[in-house]
Amino acid sequence: MWMYSVFLGLNNWGVLLLGLALFLLWATFGKKEPANFPPGPLALPLVGSVFNIAVKQPHIYLTQLADTYGNVFCISVGQEKTLFVCGWKMVKEVLVTQADKFVDRPYQAMFARLYNQHTGGLLCSNGKTWRRQRHFAMGTLRTFGLANGITERTINEESQHLCQALEKHQGELFDPASELNSAVENIISQVAFGKRFDYSDPDLKQLHATMAEMIYLEGSVWTLLYNAYPAVMKRLPGPHNRIFSNFQAVGKFINTQIQIHKSEFDPSNPRDYIDAFLVESKDNANSELGFTEENLILCCLDLFLAGTETSFRTLQWGLLFLIQNPEIQDKVQAEIERVIGPSRFPKMADRAHMPYTNAVIHEIQRMANIIPLNGGRVALTNLKLGDYVIPKGTTVLPILTSVLFDKNEWETPHTFNPGHFLDSDGNFVKRNAFVAFSGGKRACLGEGLAKMELFLFLVAMLQKFTFSVPEGVELSSEGIIGVTRSPHPFKVFATAR
């Protein structure tokens, strides 16, 4: 009764202020963490620590927090807490050792809206749907190329188109991004659609621009804000709205290809991923496992996002690092001449005889750090992580940057050094802390395809050209952070050899 009397004695402003005070008290003291929960920076009521995160280089900021709070720490974004995990030892615990307990994706308002909360495509789905769709996608990649050499021939053919496009610049300064993007995109296009696009195709160029902006914004503070305050953000204007419009535009492009396939569909002769998916969709029982036309669009979109952006950006970084280190470019070209010669196409079988080139490609991937923050996981049960107790349902984010630059794992972590992957006799050596493709059950499903693309494309380009920049030009290694880490735009000379 006393609370009722208090409210009767207040005017509207008084009620508002009292309500705000009670809410702040609840926000500050109402949600108690369990004993022995990981520490983290001070969180303000309502906003948490969201505005403390360095938006230009968040992976560096978060990795540095480990120096203060240890390799497992907590940050509040709005009212939600996320655990960040750093260093090879603890990241391995999440990705590998306890992989079964961290296999699902957490709920995020942005991706629930993009992917349809109950569908999820390849990247955001969970449970039986995710397992079935991942298994299907990996099987389709093998069926339509990786297992029978078709993909190797396809990449070599695309390498010819790429080198011809580079040659058209005739020694003039140019930005190689468009050609590299088109080449990689055409490999995924042939797997998914059974066709390639000309590099000058306006639809392909528009797709490049749309996907690039979407990927950048998805990795920005706008996504953090949307996930923290979805009820507010979905009503506000701002760049975050272009994520949804761009997503729809890419989906529309893919749906056009699906409708073409449906008009030509022969279930006895599937030609590519879309055809194979349509075959599975004919069994109504499979709809519960994601074999619907809506999810086909989402899965194709994921193949393009994951399969194009990562390999394209890695090749872009590769040219940048080789230009910064011309002596390394010379040594790779010498190995190409010794093993392959000036004219024959490279083969994947050559890689075993080219340890230095293989080491350089791995070092490009390490230094490029394409997915610096990895994808979020959720704890499926109460568990221990290091010395801490992690409650069921907690979002966990392993920071791959902290592994790829772990000073306990790499001799010169911040220097481009192919020696990280070579023994004293010059033989290639694998490194456990090489997590460019993440790890465990959620590791990149296109890892085999990506490795093939990086080797065959890079060797083909260096076989034909030497890359350089004008004297006195310094290329930046800082990078632009979205979902992926991309280099600042740069222009090169491609000098025919």
For residue 23, tell me if it sits in a domain: no
Provide the pLDDT for residue 6.
Answer: 40
Give the tokens for residue 387. 């010395």
For residue 474, tell me if it sits in a domain: yes
Give the tokens for residue 217. 């914004």
Instruction: At 78, give phi and psi (nearest 5°).
Output: 65, -130
In the chain (497 residues long), the average pLDDT of successive 10-residue segments reads 41 53 51 78 74 77 92 86 94 95 93 81 92 93 75 94 96 95 94 93 90 92 88 93 96 95 92 94 85 94 90 97 98 98 94 98 98 92 93 95 96 97 97 94 91 97 97 94 94 96
For residue 29, tell me if it sits in a domain: no
Provide the pLDDT for residue 368.
Answer: 97
For residue 144, tell me if it sits in a domain: yes
Q: How far apart are CA 324 and CA 338, in angstroms?
A: 23
Stated as kind and residue range, the H or E segment containing 340 is none
| CATH code for the domain in which residue 103 is found | 1.10.630.10
- Pairing verdict, β 395-398 and 80-85: parallel
Q: Which domain holds residue 329?
A: 70-496
Note the pLDDT tens digit of each residue in 390-410: 999 999 999 999 999 999 999
Q: How far apart are CA 210 and CA 336, in angstroms?
A: 36
Provide the pLDDT for residue 44.
Answer: 75
Contacts 24+ apart (CB under 8 A), 472-480: 475/320, 475/323, 475/324, 477/320, 477/321, 477/324, 477/367, 478/57, 479/57, 479/369, 480/216
With beta carbons less than 8 A apart as the criterion, state whether 120 and 126 touch: yes
Model pTM? 0.91
Enumerate residues 6+ apart whose C-beta is below 8 A from 322.
Answer: 328, 329, 332, 360, 462, 467
With beta carbons less than 8 A apart as the criterion, state whether 278 and 287 touch: no
Helix axes 447-464, 150-167, angle to 10 degrees: 40
Closest CA to 77 of 51, 110, 50, 109: 50
Q: How far apart are CA 197 and CA 145, in angstroms?
A: 19
Closest CA to 420 of 370, 356, 371: 356
Tokens 């050094």 map to which residue? 417
For residue 99, tell me if it sits in a domain: yes
Query: Helical H runs in 369-424?
Result: 401-404
For residue 101, tell me if it sits in a domain: yes
Provide the pLDDT for residue 43.
Answer: 78
E strands present in 312-468: 377-378, 383-385, 388-390, 395-398, 465-468
Helix axes 273-281, 240-263, angle to 10 degrees: 80
The total of structural domains in the chain comes to: 1
Provide the pLDDT for residue 141.
Answer: 85
With beta carbons less than 8 A apart as the criterion, state whether 79 and 58 touch: no
For residue 59, tell me if it sits in a domain: no
Provide the pLDDT for residue 9.
Answer: 46
For residue 9, tell me if it sits in a domain: no
Provide the pLDDT for residue 7.
Answer: 36
Q: How far apart are CA 253 and CA 328, in angstroms?
A: 41
